[in-house]
Structure formats: C-alpha cells, structure tokens
Amino acid sequence: MSTPRRAALLTLGCARNEVDSEELAGRLVGSGWELVEADPGADPDAGPAPDVIVVNTCGFVEQAKKDSIDTLLAASDVAKASGAKVVAVGCLAERYGAELAESLPEADAVLGFDAYPELAERLGDVLGGHAPAPHVPVDRRTLLPISPVQRPAAVADVAVPGHAWVPDLSRRRLEDRPFAPLKLASGCDRRCAFCAIPSFRGAFVSRPPADVLAEAAWLAGQGVREVVLVSENSTSYGKDLPGDTRALVDLLPRMAAVPGIDRIRVSYLQPAEVRPDLLKVIATTPGVAPYFDLSFQHASPAVLRRMRRFGSRTDFLDLCERIRALAPEAGIRSNVIVGFPGETEEDVAELEAFLTGARLDAVGVFGYSDEDGTEAAGYDGKVPADEVAARVSRISALVDELMTQRAEDRIGTEVTVLVEQAEDDDFECTGRAAHQAPEVDGECVFERGSGLEVGDLVRAVVVDTEGADLVVSPREILPRAVSAAEDPAAAALGRG
C-alpha cells in the first residue's frame, strides 16, 4: 500500500481566507492526501514532515503582503530540511501571479484561484517536477456578467473560493474551536478608491441560502456553537439571487434555528446599505448576536466622497442611535483610515467628533498607503508619511480611551460568553460575549478558579475591566443545543 502524499496548510489574513484554507484541506483529503504540520521538527510528537507546504497568502495591504512573503520564506527554510516543496496560493498569489513567482524563487509554484478545484493534481505536478506555469492575473470582475441577476447562471464556470459545499469533502476543519467562519458571499461590486480587493476577488456572488444553512448544520455537527458569517460586503447578500431583495433578513432567523448553533454573527456591513429591516433582525432576533461590524472608514463627508463612499458624522451617529434604541447593549465596531489624500486638519477633527459621539466598542485605525491599481493611488494631495503616522497615533490614542470607557459602561451588566481558552498554569480562562467578534475585538476574562471548559456557553456578570477587555464572574453554564449530528431530523433544516 502506497504512503499518502502529505500537505501542510498555513493561512494568513482574514476569516475569509480561513474558510478557503478549510475548503482546500477538504479537497486534498478527498483526493487521498494527508494533512500534517508544516514544521514537525519543532514538535517531536507532530508526526511526519509534509511533501508540500501550501501558504494561503493575504494581499490586502502592504503589511499583509510583507507577512505573506516572510511566511513563504520561512516555509522555504523549513522545507529545505526535508526536501518539501513550497506553493503559494491565496490573494497575494492571485493578485501578482507571475510577478510574485519571478521575485520569489523560493516558492516552487504560484497558483491562482482557478487552480483550487484541481489543487491535488496541481500539487502532484509540483512534486513530479512539472510545476504549472505561474498564474497570470486578470481583473476577476470581468469574469462574470455586470448585471448581478445574471451571475448565478455563469458562476459555475468561475472558481469562487469557499463556495464549493459538499459535506465532508469540500471543507475540513483545521482548528478545533467552538466558533467558525462561514462564507455568505464573495467579491464586491463597490468601487472604493482605496481598495483593490474587487480586482482580485471578483464581482459579488451570493451563496444559495440552502448551501449556507447546510454548512451551518454541518459545522454544528463538528462542535461549533457560534457561526460568523463573512464576506466582502454582507449587506449586499441576495442582490444576485433572482427576486430576493430580503435574502439576509430571511436567512438569519433560519440560521438561528439550526440545531446546535447558539449564536450567529454577521460581519462586514456597509453603513449605507443597512436597511431598517436588516437592522431590526440583527438587533432583536434570538440567536443572532446584536453585533454591527460597520465599515465607516471616516466621518468627514469630503473625505468619504473622495473615497467614493457615502455618509457623514450625522448619518453615522443616527445609525448608532437607531441600533442602540433596539438593543442598548449591542456591539458596534468599525475601521477608519486616516491620512487619505486631501485629508485636512478639519477632516481629522470631524472624525474625532464622530468617534467621541459614537462610543464604539472597537475601532481599527489604519494609516493610508497607496495600493496598486486603485484610483486613490493616482490622487494628488498626498499626506506626508510622517504626518500620516502622527494622525494614526493621535486617533489610536483617542480610540483606546473611548474603548476603555465603553468597556467600563458594561460593568454590572450580564453577558453570555463562549469560552475559547480554558484556565491552566499559563493562561486565564477567556472567551467572547455577543458584542465581541473573534480576534478583532476585546475578550472576556473569567475570574480564577472558574473551572470552565472550551466550548462552554456561560451567563456571566461584568465585574471589572482591563482596557477594552471585560473581567467577568460566571453565573450559569447554558445547556448545549442538540446538533444536526445528534438529531437526524435537524439535517433536513439545511436542505430546506
């Protein structure tokens, strides 16, 4: 009997990339490959060395690109000891293709999204010394019809990572966590002046509701209690599904009813597209986290127009007020960009006024930098790099203070926490409440001696804060719902 070929997967970037990696893992296992650790030499019990190290790269901003290059170089160093091959996939590979291959000979192959359906075969070619020609990038927006409603008929001929749903074949979990991202859609039709994502992720494509529900039921069977819906723009979900303009409003209650799933979280909402019915269903549906990940980016109308976005301080504050009128303890988070071309001191002051008034739970602050192929890269009025850095420091300091204050507002309130790290000699017991998303927001820290286990869902009271983090005291461990794996009747829900 022949030994199966072995592959290791390393993932960088966002939760969307995590889903893509788990789809690639499913494809490889379904083709007879074995998944192993990338560097077993670092752990004597890790098992055999890989034949191929696949690095799922990120190509969003300059720092992400650098991290991806560094990971590829590190993987190459590990591979030299065992003779393994290194293959680059993901957004950086899709975006730069042959250019990346030429500048990084340490990678034995650079594969774009179109190679994903036959990844096992392509890796076999690499091992056989017949590496495919490096991917040649194209603007993936041109691969599907301009009209969204014409896309469902055409999408079968275009590789869309994270959309190939076949139970136990097209997804294999790579981390044993009680939460998991689930792709709602891919691509984006917006034309924000600073963003290159649509050019390499393509036009917006919704997944059919039945696929989303079926995958949620499958995840419940894998022990997942919280599903995080991810996309480039979740508020556009359904616009390419014939006759369905309320797709997300209709989908969320159905997802919340999937047995075994205790919490649904929606990420990546565009403020200008949040209609009253969507706001209400997120804020008030049991089982849906009252959590609003709103892409404000700025608050100055002048800067937003140059970004090719919409809104103002008044508009955004009104949206926050409407959310809290429905759910006073709702979590609201966002990202902002400072130093955008043409940004004035008055614009920065407008952003400060918005942040002070909005009292968001979490804010990511980013300094503007030119991105290849974007409209803003050709703008005049560039802010000097040292001034961009000064504005980042200034807004970050304000945000840190405001986030701490917002956390303190929650002292004495009750939260429901999903435990993600059990207490041991080195770590405190930690988890996340409904207003905290994985990795990008604060966390809840339990008092020592709680005795909780990973995957417990706990009703707790906030007793103190540590910056943006909450210190909580447990009151009750909530029962785990019956999953689709335990109740065959539940599986029908995902097929409805």
Residue 337 CA to its chain's centroid (Å)? 19
Q: What is the pLDDT of residue 169?
A: 61
Query: What's the mean pLDDT in 214-232?
Result: 95
Q: What is the CATH number of the domain that holds 469?
A: 2.40.50.140
Q: What is the CATH number of the domain that holds 376?
A: 3.80.30.20
- The answer on 219 and 114 residing in a single domain is no
Q: Determine the residue type at 404.
A: T
- 491 occurs within a structural domain: no
- The answer on 271 and 180 residing in a single domain is yes
- 255 occurs within a structural domain: yes
Model confidence pLDDT, tens digit, residues 78-101: 888 889 999 999 999 999 999 999
The Cα 72–Cα 52 span in angstroms is 12
Q: Hey, what are 440's tokens?
A: 């990008």
The Cα 368–Cα 365 span in angstroms is 10
Model confidence pLDDT, tens digit, residues 405-444: 999 999 999 999 999 999 887 789 999 999 999 988 889 9
- The answer on 186 and 309 residing in a single domain is yes
CB 38 within 8 A of CB 127: no
DSSP result, 152-196: HHHGGGS--TT----TTTS---SS--SEEEEE-EE------TT--
The Cα 29–Cα 85 span in angstroms is 18
- As for how many domains the chain has, the answer is 3
State percent of the chain over pLDDT 70. 94
**Three-class DSSP category at 260:** coil
The Cα 145–Cα 83 span in angstroms is 44
Beta-carbon contacts of 422 under 8 Å, excluding residues fewer than 6 positions away, are: 429, 452, 453, 454
Q: What is the pLDDT of residue 42?
A: 63
- The answer on 403 and 443 residing in a single domain is no
- 451 occurs within a structural domain: yes
Confidence of residue 491 (pLDDT cuts 50, 70, 90): very low
Q: What is the CATH number of the domain that holds 16?
A: 3.40.50.12160
Strand ranges of the sheet holding 226-230, from the earlier edge strand across to the other edge: 179-183, 226-230, 263-266
Q: Which among 54, 74, 61 is positioned nearest to 14, based on CA atoms?
A: 61
Confidence of residue 481 (pLDDT cuts 50, 70, 90): low
| Dihedral over alpha carbons 351, 356, 360, 365 (to 10 degrees) | 40
Q: What is the pLDDT of residue 482?
A: 62
DSSP bridge pairs for 262: none
Confidence of residue 397 (pLDDT cuts 50, 70, 90): very high
Question: Which domain does 370 fall in, by range?
Answer: 149-409
Model confidence pLDDT, tens digit, residues 164-186: 766 656 788 998 999 999 999 99
- 240 occurs within a structural domain: yes
Q: What is the pLDDT of residue 149?
A: 87
Is a pLDDT exceeding 90 seen at residue 135? no
Q: What is the pLDDT of residue 244?
A: 64
Q: Hey, what are 80's tokens?
A: 């030299």
Is 320 annotated for ligand binding? Answer: no
* Cα distances (Å, whole numbers) of residue 263 to 49, 226, 233, 271, 458: 38, 5, 20, 22, 13
Model confidence pLDDT, tens digit, residues 320-351: 999 999 999 999 999 999 999 999 999 999 99
Domain end point (choices 139, 159, 183) = 139
- The answer on 370 and 436 residing in a single domain is no
* Cα distances (Å, whole numbers) of residue 149 to 154, 155, 186, 205: 10, 11, 15, 10
Q: Hey, what are 101's tokens?
A: 């291959």
**Three-class DSSP category at 220:** helix
pTM: 0.91
DSSP bridge pairs for 460: 415, 474
- The answer on 389 and 422 residing in a single domain is no
Lowest mean pLDDT: which of 36-45, 212-221, 257-266, 280-289? 36-45
Is a pLDDT exceeding 90 seen at residue 53? yes
Q: What is the pLDDT of residue 493?
A: 36
- The answer on 133 and 18 residing in a single domain is yes
Is a pLDDT exceeding 90 seen at residue 38? no
Confidence of residue 44 (pLDDT cuts 50, 70, 90): low
Q: Which among 68, 127, 136, 62 is positioned nearest to 99, based on CA atoms?
A: 136
Domain end point (choices 112, 139, 166) = 139
Q: Which among 127, 24, 131, 12 is positioned nearest to 71, based on CA atoms?
A: 12
- 155 occurs within a structural domain: yes
- 486 occurs within a structural domain: no
- The answer on 430 and 362 residing in a single domain is no
Burial of 189 (0-12, 13-18, 19+ CB in 10 A): middle
Is 429 annotated for ligand binding? Answer: no
Is a pLDDT exceeding 80 seen at residue 486? no
Query: What's the mean pLDDT in 121-143?
Result: 90
CB 265 within 8 A of CB 229: yes
- The answer on 214 and 71 residing in a single domain is no
Name the maximum alpha-carbon separation found in the chain: 71
The Cα 490–Cα 259 span in angstroms is 6
- The answer on 394 and 450 residing in a single domain is no
The Cα 420–Cα 456 span in angstroms is 8
- The answer on 419 and 404 residing in a single domain is no
Confidence of residue 489 (pLDDT cuts 50, 70, 90): very low
DSSP result, 368-433: ----TT-GGGG-S-PPPHHHHHHHHHHHHHHHHHHHHHHHHHTTT-EEEEEEEE---SS---EEE-
Q: What is the pLDDT of residue 166?
A: 65
Instruction: Give me the chain's average pLDDT, please.
Output: 90
Q: What is the pLDDT of residue 46?
A: 65
Is a pLDDT exceeding 90 seen at residue 163? no
- 120 occurs within a structural domain: yes
Q: How far apart are the first and last CA of the chain?
A: 42
Is 444 annotated for ligand binding? Answer: no
Neighbour tally for 130: CB within 10 Å:
9
DSSP bridge pairs for 487: none
Is a pLDDT exceeding 70 seen at residue 488? no
- The answer on 251 and 133 residing in a single domain is no
Higher pLDDT, 383 or 165: 383
Q: Hey, what are 337's tokens?
A: 């960009």
- 488 occurs within a structural domain: no
Query: What's the mean pLDDT in 1-5?
Result: 72
Domain end point (choices 378, 409, 440) = 409
